[in-house]
């Protein structure tokens, strides 16, 4: 940990940029958008289930657009890509706040999911994976602290803002905040990240060929399911967490306090994950990091008291905390960094799709009358299969060139 502190001190300016991007990505993440679900559903006279379907459609649309733009971080200057992404995220947020027709909600949600959850996270992880080699784990783990910071700070602030004003002003205010960040970005020197840029823009045909070769490769069938499973499970549970709390008869206030424990655990294991990746390699960590979340689902299913929720949230924090560092680092280890932006965009697409399918499928299970125990055990079984599949990584050779 001492080496980690020295590393952060020596690279703080570069690392803080990555942290800021993951922090700002919060405005397109499920946990913040979920704050607006009730108000938007009531104002547009739709059910929360219908809003969930709209959300799923927009998320899937955003994931496919991601394939066409994710490669830009490989060959366009980091400042240009980031500026355009933040500007689009701000526009999407303001559009949501000003929308008086459901069509604009569609457009706004696609923008939030594409630029927030998708591109800002993608830019941060890609440039740090390319720039750092021996300390890649530490760099990415520091960047992922932006996710935890957003989870701790922004829900409280936006909830208060919505209470004082309304959801529209909260959306517009978020957009204005993002525009203000662009002023700071204008004076930020990011030329050091441009040293890793590829020459020339890939053609559409070459991208299709690259994506096809990745999907048909054994490595993809080992790496993708685990990434998909985490996003699928965590998003679904968080999206319906207070539905589960109500059905279980637990105290919402106590559960909310436990959720803070999740955020703190995620933060701590974001740091630990970076140290362990640099020490043991992402390839070794990949085999085991899904296990805590898997065991947490078992506790949620079998323990009727709210203690089950506490165990689940803490174990989820362990897996989610390490996941950002491990998932980004292993792509660089296995594939190398030359086309890392395009490769990450493909994996990000499947991750984003999973965040749409998770709430949709679990919502259908709830509507069909499945018990919480059955839902959690189903997710547990799914993750067990993914853990077993992850063991196949032992037979995969790492890339000879990572930088």
Domain assignment of residue 154, given as a range = 14-193+203-395
Query: Has this prediction a pTM greater than 0.75?
Result: yes
What pLDDT sits at residue 400? 46
* CB distance 366 to 244 below 8 Å: no
CATH code where residue 351 lies: 1.20.1250.20
Dump the DSSP string for 204-257.
HHHHHHHHHHHHTSHHHHHHHHHHHHHHHHHHHHHHTHHHHHHHHT--HHHHHH
- Please check whether residue 3 lies inside any domain of the structure: no
Tens digits of residue pLDDT in 195-249: 766 665 666 666 677 677 777 778 888 888 988 899 899 988 887 887 788 888 8
Q: Is residue 120 part of a domain?
A: yes
Domain membership of residue 6 (yes or no) is no
Number of domains in the chain: 1
382 domain-assigned: yes
Higher pLDDT, 37 or 166: 166
Cα–Cα dist 233/353, whole Å: 12
Q: How far apart are CA 4 and CA 6, in angstroms?
A: 5
With residues binned 3-state (H G I as helix, E B as strand, rest as coil), the percentages for the chain, rounded to 5, are: 85, 0, 15
- Return the pLDDT at 8: 85
Question: pLDDT (tens digit, 9 = 90+) per residue, 320-338?
Answer: 989 888 888 888 888 876 6
Q: Is residue 369 part of a domain?
A: yes
Residue 268's Cβ-count burial label (10 Å; 0-12, 13-18, 19+) is: middle
| CB < 8 Å & 24+ apart, contacts of 371-374 | 372/244, 372/247, 372/248, 372/300, 372/301, 373/301, 373/302
User: Over 50: is that where the pLDDT of 260 sits?
Assistant: yes
- Position 126 scores a pLDDT of 86
Residue 403 lies in a domain: no
5 part of a folded domain: no
- 253 domain residue, yes or no: yes
Residue for token pair 């059905």: 247
């Amino acid at each position: 940990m001492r080496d980690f502190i020295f590393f952060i001190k020596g690279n703080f300016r570069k690392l803080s940029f990555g942290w800021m991007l993951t922090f700002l990505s919060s405005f397109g993440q499920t946990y913040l958008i979920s704050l607006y679900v009730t108000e938007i559903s009531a104002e547009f006279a739709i059910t929360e289930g219908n809003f969930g379907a709209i959300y799923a459609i927009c998320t899937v649309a955003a994931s496919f657009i991601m394939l066409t733009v994710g490669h830009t971080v490989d060959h366009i200057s980091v400042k240009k890509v980031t500026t355009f992404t933040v500007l689009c995220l701000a526009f999407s947020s303001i559009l949501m706040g000003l929308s008086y027709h459901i069509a604009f909600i569609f457009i706004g949600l696609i923008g939030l999911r594409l630029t927030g959850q998708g591109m800002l996270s993608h830019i941060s992880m890609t440039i740090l994976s390319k720039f750092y080699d021996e300390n890649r784990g530490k760099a990415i783990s520091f960047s992922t602290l932006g996710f935890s910071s957003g989870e701790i700070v922004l829900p409280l602030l936006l909830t208060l803002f919505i209470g004082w004003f309304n959801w529209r002003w909260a959306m517009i205010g978020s957009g204005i905040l993002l525009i203000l960040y662009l002023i700071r970005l204008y004076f930020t020197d990011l030329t050091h990240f441009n040293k890793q840029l590829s020459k020339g823009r890939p053609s559409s045909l070459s991208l299709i060929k690259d994506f096809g070769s990745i999907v048909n490769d054994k490595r993809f069938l080992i790496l993708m399911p685990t990434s998909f499973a985490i996003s699928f499970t965590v998003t679904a549970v968080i999206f319906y967490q207070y539905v589960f709390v109500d059905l279980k008869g637990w105290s919402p206030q106590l559960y909310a306090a436990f959720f803070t424990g999740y955020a703190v655990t995620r933060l701590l294991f974001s740091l630990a994950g970076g140290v362990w990746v640099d020490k043991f390699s992402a390839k070794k960590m990949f085999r085991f990091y899904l296990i805590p979340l898997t065991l947490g689902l078992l506790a949620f299913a079998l323990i009727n008291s709210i203690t089950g929720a506490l165990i689940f949230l803490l174990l989820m924090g362990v897996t989610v905390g390490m996941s950002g560092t491990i998932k980004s680092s292993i792509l660089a280890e296995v594939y190398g960094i030359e086309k890392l932006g395009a490769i990450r965009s493909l994996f990000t697409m499947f991750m984003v799709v999973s965040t749409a399918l998770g709430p949709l499928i679990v919502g259908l299970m709830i509507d069909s009358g499945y018990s919480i125990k059955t839902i959690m055990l189903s997710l547990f079984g799914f993750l067990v299969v993914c853990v077993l599949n992850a063991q196949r990584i032992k037979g995969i050779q790492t890339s000879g060139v990572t930088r």
